[in-house]
Copies of this chain bind each other. A is one copy, B any other.
Amino acid sequence: MHEHTFATLMAGGSGTRFWPLSRRTRPKQILPIAGDRPMIRVTLDRLGGQVPPERVLVATGADQEAGIRKVLPEIPAENFLLEPTPRNTAPCLALASATALARDPLAVMVCLPADHVIRPAEAFRNALTLATKRADRAGTLLTFGIRPTRPATGYGYILAGEETIPGVRTVREFEEKPGLEKAERFLKHGGYRWNSGMFTWRADAFLAEVETHLPVLATGIAKIARDPACLSKVFPTLPSISVDCGIMERTGRAEIVDAAFGWDDVGSFEALSRLIDRDQAGNYIRGDAVVLDGEGLIIDSGGGRTVGALGVSDLVIIATDDVVLVCSRRRAEDVKLLVGKLTLAGREDLA
């Protein structure tokens, strides 16, 4: 790949959606949620060595650094961008882009959430090559659009416009997470794509857009770039806003790469029903389980434990060393509320 390409692995997740597999200090991205290796490890490996470790940045919180360094030992310590407090993606990616730009005035930045599932890796790398070339030559800000396979209500959608080069289109419209009826319309329409939250841009082009659309953020990031020691003082004062809302929806330079790979953001335990093969009885089982008269169960039994299920359906059952979660699949998105209740009850030890 392009010798000026940098990658930022975005690993800011707090780990409450996959509780009890994930914990405050053991978030989803360092766990093998979707396979047999930590998700952030898979994310790095997916690049296939096209971006060398010296040009891979990791944006995360200070309390997660140790866990991530263990699974990504080849990433140099100075490539960890530790956010003193989470400020959403715009500050994070502005800081990462400024860091790359300081090292290489021609830097092209690839921004990758560290906890998505993408298959096959080959198709991903092809899309990335296309995106980095386009960003480098045209100075546009590219987002990766995924062809919807179901009327998902948990994702934002993008309506693609004219083709600018083969495989890349203009953005006609960003759509917030829709209701089910609207999502079904988007699916039928054919021109809508899921907004994957992955981006590619030239660092200078992106920072110019930040300057235009989020000047307060630009000023703060410039200050940190001049004096990295002030990060902990300045970063928490930056506007907390997503790069979608703050930049992509405002700029005239957004483009969309028509991604030809399978993608899942693994947003909740419900995603496991898409990632684990269904058995003959209609259940999604990882680990050891015996089920009688039940279907639609999502089961993960860790550490040599066995789950027995009788006469129950459409549940998430997660067994770990110290915690067992039993949750309705309809409520899988709300596991974080249960963690909130635990924390309120003074049970931070388990959160």
Which A residues are closer than 8 A to B by beta carbons? 19-20, 290, 292-293, 301, 304-312, 315, 317, 319, 322-328, 330-331, 334-335, 337-338, 341-342, 345, 347, 350
Contact = CB atoms under 8 A, between A and B. Distances in A.
A311 B328 CA distance: 5
A304 B324 CA distance: 11
Nearest to A344: B290
Contacts of A326: 307-310, 312, 315, 317, 326
B324 A305 contact: yes
Given A308-B342, A317-B324, 19 more contacts: A290-B338, A290-B345, A292-B334, A292-B337, A292-B338, A305-B322, A306-B323, A307-B325, A307-B326, A308-B338, A309-B327, A310-B325, A310-B335, A311-B327, A311-B328, A311-B330, A312-B327, A315-B326, A324-B324
A290 B338 CA distance: 8
Nearest to A339: B308
16 contacts: A20-B308, A290-B341, A290-B342, A290-B345, A305-B323, A306-B323, A306-B324, A306-B347, A307-B323, A307-B325, A307-B326, A308-B324, A309-B325, A310-B328, A311-B331, A324-B324
Contacts of A315: 312, 326
Contacts of A335: 310
Contacts of A317: 324, 326
B322 A310 contact: no
A334 B308 CA distance: 12
A330 B305 CA distance: 25
A347 B311 contact: no
Nearest to A289: B324
Contacts of A304: 322
Contact of A347 (B290, B325, B327): B290
Contacts of A19: 308
A224 to B, nearest CB: 39
Contacts of A308: 19-20, 323-327, 338, 342
A88 to B, nearest CB: 26
A310 B324 contact: no
A338 B310 contact: yes
A319 B310 CA distance: 14
Contacts of A307: 323-326
A271 to B, nearest CB: 17
Q: Of A306, A315, A345, which is in contact with the most chain B CB atoms at under 10 Å from its CB? A: A306
Nearest to A290: B342
A107 B330 CA distance: 63
Q: Of A290, A315, A326, which is in contact with the most chain B CB atoms at under 10 Å from its CB? A: A326
A318 to B, nearest CB: 9
Contacts of A306: 322-324, 347, 350
Contacts of A334: 292, 310-311
Q: Would you list the 7 A-B pairs with minimal beta carbon distance, nearest first?
A: A311-B331, A311-B328, A310-B327, A308-B325, A319-B324, A310-B338, A292-B338
